[in-house]
Structure 1
Amino acid sequence: MTRLAVAASLLALAATALPAAGATAATAATAATPQASVAAPMQVYGAWHCSDDACTWAKARDMAQFDAANHWLVDRGDGRPSVNVVVLSFVNPLRLLNGTTDAGDAAGVPVGMNQQVVDYFTAHGIRVMLSIGGITYTGDWDSALAQNGGLLGQKAAALASKLGVGIEIDYENSNSPNLTGLQAFVDAYRAAHPYDASGADPAARLTIDVAAGDRWLSGIDQYATAHWLTTANPVLDYANAMVPNKQPSASTAIANWQEHLDGKPTYSPPIPPLAPAKFTGSLYIAEGSQVRPECTNFANSVQSATGSWVQSAAPNGAGTSAGLLGFMFWAAEKPSTRGVTTAPPNGCQGGVGAGATAFSVPVPMPPLRQG
């Protein structure tokens, strides 16, 4: 895929998942399923980051300009960060496997995803991860896994070691995912960086993206839930339930996330229930031409309307503790070639930052709940 083709298709980079969004946030959580009575503190509260070029990271950033555009992430207005994890999006899996060096990549890694950017966040106690994939690179995931999934896992592990970051798997093949190749990727990565419940080794953090609910990316969802996201024998740290095709209402968001808690026992093969402690829910902060309340107005945001449910959602067949791990937000700075950004004057202190205060989000991220 040419760089021009990537840029043209990046309008669709934000992961989409059925069902589509429903009514307004004012309908809130009244339609939700029953809640557990004890709220769990949020542990994961982060943002995907697309740089200023719609997720290509194809140039090294001037760090003074980068800070001006992104200072809200490290300072919610009182000196404390707005998030405790940032996921730099996206690395092309085929370029990483082949070690491609071109105008925008060095040895398969976007040149903008460098140590200076990583250190900018980690200096403030914010964990950093790199996302491999995104919907634009689905075909490249297929090609890389068919070519050598194990070697791709080794190269991802080496990249994580070099930069001191974790890795997120964003493989959005909804029809025929190469699960054998993906298993080889995970095995190779874990051979280099074993599962670390303490979270002390940043490179040991390995996560996966699934759809907003269970009805899209079902093959990956089923396999990951059954094999990698159990509380008895965890392989991946957690999953992110991605954003749907537009901002959901609070009730629709909760209905989507509840699908993961319930599983799909009638599917073949069945999708098992997912423990609340093994996934996050996701919302937009930049979407189309609108500045979202999720970015600038916490009181009127979907994260405010769903926050109590997220912190108290009861397990339903997997796990023992209540409450999802927290929220992820799509996406910081410029996630699309058109539309709003989160750069000034649209900094998200008043939405994401205010939420970090309201939810008492810990920075740095603590060891995650395991049950």
Structure 2
Amino acid sequence: MAAPSDLTKVYALWHCGADGCMWNEAVDNSYFDWIVNRGDGQPTANLIIFSFLNPVNVLSSGVQAVPAGLTPSMIQYLQSNGISVMFSIGGEEWSSEWDQALGQDPVTLGKNAAAIAQQFGVGIEIDYESEQSTPLLDQFVKAYRSVLPMDNSTSATDSSLLTVDTGSGTGYLTSVSQWASTWLEEGLINWINAMVAGGPYGSIGEATQYWDEHLQGTSWANIPPMNPEHLVVSLYSCDGSANCNAYPGSVLQGAVGWVQQQNTRGISFWVGGCVSPTVCCNNCPGIQQGSEALISN
């Protein structure tokens, strides 16, 4: 298993492949050219999060739940180029499947996710966009860590990574943020990803009003302030956002400055590849320039 890239600062990209996040077919390594090399020989992103695995399939089939398109050779190619790799379980489309799998057997679900991480040498991201079964998610997290304990050493592998997606602020998926604060305190997850809002932010101020809710805590929900190193914020790469095509004057440029000022963990982008047959996001010079600003080597 490959050692993770330097994730002191995270610059991540969720990736849907070429078939709307189904990953029924593999893509050629050249599909990642703009991610592997931002123009100066360094990778654009230091983390790719392949989206998504179906939680019901993870419970019933274990490592066989990984779609055929998520091949070991593709993962190894990215890791050999200094990019850490994670699999995301769930997503908005599979929220009910999360509830179904958690309601059936959250412990086995967590252990099967850990087996996938071990088999493929990847980390796992929890993308649970429901609140029906959040307490059962606690059993998932603890079962996962019973197989793959937290490892913050320099020899840690990608499979030691476990992260959780939350709302852009704490007002959406509030119970997930509440539990995430506990998991962070107990050393069970590495960081949270504050997901994108309903559409691209029109200004950096529009974005930080949500991100500050995580940093400052939310008293009405009993969510404590967050250690900045535990917060990764998110932006749209395309979908009406200018972040893909241009860096100067963009919300991304403002976000890079905010992350550096607040010393938060980093930025993730939704999304690379094709979320549908006609909506694709590849070859983003703006995101490449943001990479040079945040994670210059």
**Distance between the aligned counterparts of 1:126 and 1:179, measured in 2?**
31
Q: Deviations over 1:229-263 (max 9, x none)?
A: 12xx3210000000001011211111110010121
The corresponding residue for 2:145 is: 190
Candidates 95, 105, 126, aligned match of 1:148: 105
8 Å Cα contact 1:70/1:333 also seen in 2: no
Candidates 59, 70, 75, aligned match of 2:25: 59
| 1:359 to partner: Cα distance | 1.9
Q: Deviations over 1:45-82 (max 9, x none)?
A: 11000000111111233x2xx41x32100010122110
8 Å Cα contact 1:285/1:332 also seen in 2: yes
Q: Which amino acid in 1 is paired with 2:237?
A: I
Q: Which amino acid in 2 is paired with 1:191?
A: S
Q: Which amino acid in 1 is paired with 2:24?
A: A
Q: TM-score, normalised by structure 2?
A: 0.93
8 Å Cα contact 1:42/1:361 also seen in 2: no
Tell me if 1:117 matches 2:74.
Answer: yes
Candidates 164, 173, 178, aligned match of 1:217: 173
**Distance between the aligned counterparts of 2:295 and 2:82, measured in 1?**
15
Q: Cα RMSD between the aligned structures?
A: 1.7
Aligned-partner SS, 1:47: strand
Tell me if 1:342 matches 2:297.
Answer: no
**Distance between the aligned counterparts of 1:271 and 1:90, measured in 2?**
28
Identify which of structures 1 and 2 has the higher relative contact order when contacts are C-alpha pairs closer than 8 Å and 6+ apart: 1
The corresponding residue for 1:256 is: 210
8 Å Cα contact 1:127/1:202 also seen in 2: yes
| 1:180 to partner: Cα distance | 3.2
| 1:135 to partner: Cα distance | 0.4
**Distance between the aligned counterparts of 1:157 and 1:360, measured in 2?**
29
The corresponding residue for 2:247 is: 298
Aligned-partner SS, 2:219: coil
The corresponding residue for 1:279 is: 231
The corresponding residue for 1:25 is: none
8 Å Cα contact 1:91/1:109 also seen in 2: yes
**Distance between the aligned counterparts of 1:75 and 1:252, measured in 2?**
31
Tell me if 1:354 matches 2:289.
Answer: yes
Aligned-partner SS, 2:50: strand
Runs of 4+ in 1 over 6 A off after TM superposition: none
Tell me if 1:265 matches 2:231.
Answer: no
Percent identity, please.
Answer: 36
**Distance between the aligned counterparts of 1:295 and 1:42, measured in 2?**
23
Unaligned runs of 5+ in 1: 1-40, 101-105, 314-322, 363-371
* 1:171-250 matches, cutoff 5 A: 171-174=128-131, 176=132, 178-198=133-153, 200-225=156-181, 227-230=182-185, 233-248=186-201, 249-250=203-204
Aligned-partner SS, 2:244: helix
**Distance between the aligned counterparts of 1:301 and 1:250, measured in 2?**
9
The corresponding residue for 2:54 is: 92
Aligned-partner SS, 1:295: coil
The corresponding residue for 1:8 is: none
| 1:306 to partner: Cα distance | 2.5
| 1:361 to partner: Cα distance | 4.0
Tell me which structure has the larger Cα radius of gyration. 1
The count of residues paired between Structure 1 and Structure 2 equals 289
**Distance between the aligned counterparts of 1:116 and 1:302, measured in 2?**
35
8 Å Cα contact 2:256/2:293 also seen in 1: no
The corresponding residue for 2:4 is: none
| 1:295 to partner: Cα distance | 1.3
8 Å Cα contact 1:293/1:300 also seen in 2: no
**Distance between the aligned counterparts of 2:296 and 2:20, measured in 1?**
28
8 Å Cα contact 1:43/1:361 also seen in 2: no
8 Å Cα contact 1:286/1:335 also seen in 2: no
**Distance between the aligned counterparts of 2:150 and 2:296, measured in 1?**
24
8 Å Cα contact 1:42/1:311 also seen in 2: no
Q: Which amino acid in 2 is paired with 1:326?
A: G
**Distance between the aligned counterparts of 2:277 and 2:210, measured in 1?**
28
Tell me if 1:47 matches 2:13.
Answer: yes
The corresponding residue for 2:3 is: none
| 1:42 to partner: Cα distance | 6.3
**Distance between the aligned counterparts of 1:54 and 1:196, measured in 2?**
33
